[in-house]
A = this chain, B = another copy of it.
Amino acid sequence: MASDQTRSAILSAAERLYADRGFGDVTLRDIVAAANVNLAAVNYHFGSKDELIAELFVSRSLATNRERLNELKAAEEAGGGRADIDAIFRALVGPTLRGCLGPSSEGSTAARFMIRASIESVPPIRRIKNREVDHLRKFAAAMRRSLPGRAEADLYWGLHFALAMAHHTIRERERLTKLSEGLCDLDDVQGIVERVVAVSVMALTGSGTRIGEKPGSQRARQGS
């Protein structure tokens, strides 16, 4: 159908504009102008502005979540149903960090859009994020299997802090660069992932690689 052309023109124009200028500054008229389609096309194809935003965000975050679960599954299978705690954290924060940071984030509209969605918090996106709890529960379950000795609450705190470090790094990327005067290398995504993983593991197990130490074996020691 020819309609798909209009639909996807709107989607990609909207993603680019939102990524560059934020949700507050971009109107439907901006979007349709950039996509070279009629103003009414947005409501015809998506129903409303909010549903357009929701569709953009859902498709991107579904992709990330899928990637996360794939990594988690692989780690659990490699460990015979019980993944190492560092592998779990890596599956949790790796996809998000790789998607939003690094050299690709300049070029990739998708990455810039997700960063924007993480900084500004508009209602349609907030609604979707609230449903993310079910997804996180799978990681909590994996952690429980990996560290059966730890108290439930501690596992949740560990999960929470890992996400905190990842998301805050994405959100405050510019400020950290400015604060550290460039000393913190925000382009070394893999290094950042390992930093976050190392701290997360250490928080839970009380051992592992400390910040700044080059992890020789690519993985922190597990406590159990």
Could you tell me which A residues sit within 8 Å of B by CB distance?
Answer: 24, 119-123, 129-130, 132-133, 136-137, 140, 150-154, 156-161, 163-165, 167-169, 172, 175-176, 178-180, 183-185, 195, 198-199, 202-206, 209-213
Q: Looking at chain A's contact residues, is the secondary structure mostly helix, strand, loop, or mixed?
A: helix
Question: Closest 4 A-B residue pairs measured CB to CB?
Answer: A164-B168, A206-B210, A154-B212, A156-B180
Q: Is the CB of A210 within 8 A of B205?
A: yes
CB distance from A93 to the nearest CB of B (A): 12
Smallest beta-carbon distance A212→chain B, Å: 4
Q: When the two chains form their complex, are residues B205 and A176 in contact, meaning their CB atoms are under 8 A apart?
A: no
Q: Cα distance A207–B151 when bound, in Å?
A: 20
Q: Which partner residue on chain B sits nearest A177 by CB separation?
A: B156
Which residue in chain B gives the minimum CB-CB distance to A25? B123
| A122 CA to B121 CA, complexed, in Å | 10
